[in-house]
Amino acid sequence: MEAQQVAGRHLDDHDVLLAARHGSEDAGRRLMRDHGAGMLRTARHVLGRYGGNDAEDAVQEAFIAALTTDALPRADVGAWLRAIAARKALDAARTRQRRSEDQLSDGPAPGPADLEVLAVREALARLSARDRAVLVLVDLEGHSMAEAAEALGTTNVGTRLRAVRARRKLAMLLREGGLS
Amino acid sequence: MTTRRSVAGEALRRAGRGLHEDPERLVAGVPAWMREAARRRARPADGFPALAAWALPRLAAATAAAVVVAVTVSLWSPSSSSTVSFESLILDDGVADTGDELFDALLGAERNHG
């Protein structure tokens, strides 16, 4: 596949993904340029930390997984990549929990986050990583319960129950913080 | 009407405000990540997990079959009714022969020593 074609956007995202799998660095760079920021934001939401490098590590693992698997996205490549990023961030959150590093500080949050934003982040941080992953995939990304369950390696019913409980808990936390 | 679903989605959007992700740092990492992906793809299909996934269910089935055979044989064995129970050996001095020479010698020594 010609690098110029990839750079020149003659290909759609599916073709770019296949080209990257076949070793085109231009295609890989284009995937990251087009979808990296979204993947990073998804990973940060799931991790519940809006600073630090662990979200970038999750994106790296997601990118490698996307090139290593034989599976193909059914529709939107960006949404598919973000779902993989959510899964990898969830794995990273579990590892972090096992290592008892949950108390690490976030470090300086990038950007001018105001107090309300910080309060919302704090409320989200009080949910479990799995709760956040379900809410990110279903309520933010618009995936179906079945798609979210598949992405997170769990059952449809379990995902549905988790979503209901997580929404209720988040609504309560936001109310308590005067944010609803 | 505001649903809890839309509340959660809006909360996540609010939490993401102020984030200005720069994909160029990620883009710079792509060549190394692609080498890692190629290395993982070239790795022989995860030898041990693949072998374990093939062997473990078969091993479990073979074990279950062996247990069924052993139970069936022990239930239908004609000699099972003539075995001497452990309790009778302990309680009844009159039992002289268990059919096991080593066990008989051991019991004899115990009896001789009181």
| Cβ-Cβ contacts under 8 Å, B43 against chain A | none
pLDDT in tens, A138-172: 999 999 999 999 999 999 999 999 999 999 999 99
Answer yes or no: is pLDDT of B58 > 50: yes
Contacts with A111 from chain B: Cβ below 8 Å? 17-20
Closest-approach residue (CA) in chain A for B5: A139
Calpha distance A1→B86 (Å, rounded): 80
Average pLDDT over residues B12-23: 85
User: Chain-wide mean pLDDT for chain A?
Assistant: 86
- pLDDT tens by residue, A68-109: 998 888 888 999 999 999 999 999 998 877 665 544 445 455
pLDDT tens profile A22-67:
999 999 999 999 999 999 999 999 999 887 788 999 999 999 999 9
Length of chain A: 180
Sign, Cα dihedral of B37, A89, A105, B10:
positive
How confident is the model at residue A98, as a pLDDT? 64
- How far is B73 from chain A, CA to nearest CA, in Å? 43
ipTM > 0.95 (yes/no): no
pTM above 0.90, yes or no: no
Residue of A28, A63, A171 with shortest CB distance to B7:
A171
Q: Please, are residues A39 and A85 in contact by the beta-carbon 8 Å criterion?
A: yes
Task: Pick B89 or B67 by higher pLDDT.
Answer: B67
Q: Does B12 contact A124 at a Cβ distance shorter than 8 Å?
A: yes
pLDDT at B60 over 70: yes
Chain centroid to Cα B36, Å, comes to 32
Q: Residues of B with CB below 8 A from A64's CB?
A: 33, 36-37, 40
pLDDT band with cut points at 50, 70 and 90 for residue A110: very low
Q: Which chain B residue shows the shortest CA-CA distance from A131?
A: B8
Among A residues 69-108, those touching chain B with beta carbons less than 8 Å apart: none
Cα atoms in the 13 Å half-sphere on the side-chain side of A156: 4
- Is B58 at the interface with chain A, CB within 8 A? no
The answer to whether residues A65 and A17 touch, using CB atoms and an 8 Å cutoff, is: no
What's the pLDDT score for residue B38? 93
Chain B residues with beta carbon closer than 8 angstroms to that of A117: 14-15, 17-18
The answer, for A128 touching chain B at a CB cutoff of 8 Å, is: no
Instruction: Determine what percent of chain B is predicted with pLDDT higher than 90.
Output: 29
User: What's the pLDDT at B1?
Assistant: 47
C-beta separation of A57 from A92 below 8 A: yes
Rounded Cα distance, B67 and B47, in Å: 30
Q: What is the pLDDT of residue A99?
A: 62
